[in-house]
């Protein structure tokens, strides 16, 4: 009997050694990165603001793909377009997950929304609905008139209230997106209940996803403790955030249902989808993807539009060239429309440079590996958080000459530089489904505002010009620091167009919830 046990034990021992060898070899093949402490890892080496600038330094120190660990969580940082394409695009079946965030995801409920939903049937259904009803140029073109009209309201308001730039941009972008997503007509005084609801939900989201803010994200089993237990105050906050999240999803959706039952629903993403044949999964997913089309676009597009105004003040020569093109192509007797887009290459170049120069989501939105993988000899285990540093790509001298400079001309001529739209909207199966809407909204804002306004430095009480600072605030979505600028009609024809708008714009009838 002993003679039979010996070979079995030997075989088992050999298998164990082989398994241990592969385990240790995989562990030793993680991407390079800073050495961390036991348990906490590199916790004290991770900044609380401007993280994308910190991660960008890893490229010089460790290469395009680097690694760190924080409180037991593996983090891989991708600092080049090649690495992002190789991992997030070409291997999207492995890297389409999102980091598990118990507080924001399970407690607040953002795991059902597009931004944090796990890659699976629910996520794929949302993506399919978005593409079918809004993701193509033809589908997005149905809302061009809405975009043009709302931007005309914008220039009319800016003519009367030039100091309310950011407020008026947000009113306009909110009006466009809610009209497209739910057929909802907003108030234009900046105090619309639907807009306020979604803005509050977005603010809650940023707090809920702030790294290190919630102990339950580090110790997930805490989500099971009763709310009355000392130290469980996060549950009360989570319930408050969850209500806002549910409301911003359900209230606009129920508004559309009511309008459809009254035969008063305006064409929109949601009403069009509800009029079509939907499966049970699609009916469930619809309200979440509809909320994402608005909630995911307001802050990002507002950031881009605000950076546009800042750039035009900082670089008056660029503004002058753009207005020369507008005058040459369109003339001075009318406002631009979406039909003019293909004939305005310099305006298009400005738009691309705004996207690149001040990347609005500079740190990208993190992916997560859904299974073990090996890339270029580096072991990336299941659950690893993948940071795609869009700022590093947008300012990579491999793709952009003098990358810190603002030069729209880089996208013109026979050898244009890399179009930033290939990366700023994300990668793989997590790429933003609202690209057509975002790009057309930014275009019509840029073209229309430049057609009528001269944007310049603000002046102090003594009449001296006060140039704005080229600084931005930290956050998941990047915005310029508050600045003042001069917004004035640039010609007599422009002034005439602005005056005519008051009589030509249709009377606005805000929707009633």
Q: Which residues fall in the annotated binding site for heme?
A: 432
Cα 211 to Cα 492: distance, rounded to the nearest angstrom: 52
DSSP 37: B
Q: Which residues contact 127 (CB under 8 A, 6 or more apart)?
A: 114, 289, 429, 433
> What are the residue ranges of helices labelled H in 426-491?
435-452
The first and second tokens of residue 210, run together, are 């702030």
Taking alpha carbons only, the member of 386, 361, 383, 360 closest to residue 372 is: 383
Q: Are 35 and 70 in contact (CB under 8 A)?
A: no
Cα 384 to Cα 367: distance, rounded to the nearest angstrom: 8
Cα 142 to Cα 148: distance, rounded to the nearest angstrom: 12
**Burial category of 117 from C-beta neighbours within 10 Å (exposed 0-12, middle 13-18, buried 19 and up):** buried
- Residue positions forming the annotated binding site: 432
Cα 116 to Cα 108: distance, rounded to the nearest angstrom: 11
Q: How many CA atoms lie within 13 A of 258 on its CB side?
A: 10
Q: Which residues contact 446 (CB under 8 A, 6 or more apart)?
A: 308, 322, 347, 350, 351, 354
Question: Alpha carbon 83 to chain centroid distance?
Answer: 20
| Secondary structure class of 457 (helix, strand, coil) | strand
DSSP 75: E
Cα→Cα distances 346→322, 426, 446, Å: 6, 25, 11
| Alpha-carbon dihedral sign for residues 55, 56, 57, 58 | positive
């Amino acid at each position: 009997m002993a003679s039979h046990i010996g070979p079995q034990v030997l075989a088992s021992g050999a298998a164990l050694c082989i398994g241990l060898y592969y385990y240790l070899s995989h562990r030793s093949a993680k991407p390079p990165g800073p050495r961390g402490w036991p348990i906490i890892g590199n916790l004290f080496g991770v900044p609380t603001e401007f993280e994308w600038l910190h991660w960008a330094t890893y490229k010089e120190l460790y290469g395009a793909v680097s690694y760190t660990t924080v409180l037991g969580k593996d983090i891989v940082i991708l600092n080049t377009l090649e690495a992002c394409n190789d991992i997030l695009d070409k291997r999207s079946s492995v890297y389409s997950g999102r980091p598990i965030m118990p507080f924001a995801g399970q407690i607040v409920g953002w795991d059902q929304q597009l931004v944090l939903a796990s890659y699976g049937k629910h996520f794929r259904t949302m993506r399919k609905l978005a593409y079918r009803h809004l993701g193509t140029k033809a589908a997005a073109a149905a809302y061009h008139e809405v975009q043009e009209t709302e931007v005309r309201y914008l220039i009319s308001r800016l003519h009367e209230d030039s100091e309310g730039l950011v407020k008026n941009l947000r009113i306009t972008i909110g009006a466009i997106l809610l009209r497209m997503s739910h057929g909802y007509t907003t108030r234009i005084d900046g105090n619309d209940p639907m807009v306020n609801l979604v803005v509050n939900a977005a603010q809650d989201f940023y707090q809920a996803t702030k790294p290190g803010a919630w102990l339950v994200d580090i110790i997930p089993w805490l989500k099971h403790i009763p709310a009355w237990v000392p130290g469980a105050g996060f549950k009360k906050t989570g319930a408050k955030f969850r209500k806002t999240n549910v409301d911003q999803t359900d209230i606009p959706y129920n508004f559309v249902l009511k309008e459809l039952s009254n035969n008063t629903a305006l064409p929109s993403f949601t009403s069009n989808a509800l009029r079509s044949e939907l499966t049970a999964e699609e009916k469930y997913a619809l309200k979440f993807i509809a909320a994402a089309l608005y909630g995911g676009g307001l802050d990002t597009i507002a950031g881009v539009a605000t950076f546009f105004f800042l750039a035009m003040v900082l670089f008056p020569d660029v503004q002058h060239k753009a207005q020369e093109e507008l005058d040459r192509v369109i003339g001075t007797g009318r406002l631009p429309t979406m039909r003019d887009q293909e004939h305005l290459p310099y305006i298009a170049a400005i738009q691309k440079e705004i996207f690149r120069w001040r990347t609005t989501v500079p740190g990208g939105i993190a992916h997560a590996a859904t299974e073990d993988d090996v890339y270029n000899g580096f072991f990336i285990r299941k659950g690893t958080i993948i940071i795609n540093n869009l700022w590093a790509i947008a300012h990579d001298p491999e793709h952009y000459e003098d990358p810190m400079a603002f030069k729209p001309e880089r996208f013109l001529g026979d050898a244009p530089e890399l179009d930033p739209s290939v990366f700023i909207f994300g990668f793989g199966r997590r790429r933003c489904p609202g690209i057509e809407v975002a790009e057309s909204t930014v275009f019509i804002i840029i073209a229309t505002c430049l057609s009528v306004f001269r944007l310049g430095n603000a002046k102090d009480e003594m009449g001296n010009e006060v140039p704005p600072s080229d600084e931005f605030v930290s956050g998941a979505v990047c915005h310029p620091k508050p600045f003042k600028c001069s917004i004035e009609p640039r010609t007599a024809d422009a002034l005439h167009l602005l005056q005519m708008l008051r009589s030509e714009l249709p009377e606005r009838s805000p929707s009633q919830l």
